[in-house]
Structure 1
Amino acid sequence: MASQVLAENGLAIAIRDKYPVRPLHSLILTKRHVADVFAASAEEREAMHSLADSLTAAIKREDPTVSGFNFGSNIGAVAGQKIFHAHLHLIPRRPHEAPPPAAKP
């Protein structure tokens, strides 16, 4: 993987988003190729959430101005999914920021 690995476990990996909408925007992906999070196993989804837990703490340590997160996934092209491999976005939010941009069709 071209991006630096931030964290990983047996079933998932975390990297920084190549096109971040906010500083420290990260992606959490399954290691096994599946099209989206609904195609991932329960164990893979739990592995992704476990990485999200540790990554939120690391992001807050790196940037104490972070006081919230957007966390989720676009499922299907009509919902804005552009990469058809299961992944979750973890987008740090800071006070006084504008909302993240809407997904483009």
Structure 2
Amino acid sequence: MKDSQCIFCNLGKDKEIIAENELAIAFYDGFPVNPGHALIIPKRHVASYFDLSMDECTAMQALLKVVQTKVEERFHPDGYNIGVNVNAAAGQSVFHVHMHLIPRFLGDVDNPKGGVRGVIPSKQKY
């Protein structure tokens, strides 16, 4: 079911769709962290990743592989971060599930060690 207020339920015609399947769609992030930053979302309006059906999870994972291949060919990154924010405490600001595929490039940060652990900066270094 679509939410008329949800920006992901109402994608603009200007969004470059990377790939889609029956249950999910992928497009480039409107506020990219790095070139090629992509989002993969379920077509059904669902706020939490943990409320997705197993079929929706599988569909999103299938698109993740397709999108990674296309991003690799177009942007040639040196690595990737993959993540999903669940609820406001974890930084979710659009309450429609979205998986980030963030291409990483050598030198884009001083020290990338710890990767996604950087969501809590004091715990990133170990």
TM-score normalized by the length of structure 2 = 0.75
Q: 2:61 aligns with which of 36, 46, 49?
A: 49
| Identity, % of aligned positions | 41
SS state of the match for residue 72, structure 1?
strand
Q: 2:30 aligns with which of 1, 18, 24?
A: 18
* Unaligned residue ranges in structure 1 (runs of 5+): none
Aligned to 1:87: 98
* Whole-Å separation in 1 of the counterparts to 2:75 and 2:37: 12
Instruction: State how 1:33-48 maps to structure 2 within 5 Å.
Output: 33-48=45-60
TM-score normalized by the length of structure 1 = 0.90
* Whole-Å separation in 2 of the counterparts to 1:18 and 1:76: 20
Q: Segments of 4+ in structure 1 off by > 3 A?
A: 99-103
Amino acid across the alignment from 2:25: I
Q: Which has the higher contact order (CA 8 A, sep 6+)?
A: 1
* Unaligned residue ranges in structure 2 (runs of 5+): 1-10, 121-126
How many correspondences in the alignment?
102
Which has the larger Rg? Answer: 2
* Whole-Å separation in 2 of the counterparts to 1:19 and 1:48: 20
Q: 1:6 aligns with which of 3, 18, 21?
A: 18
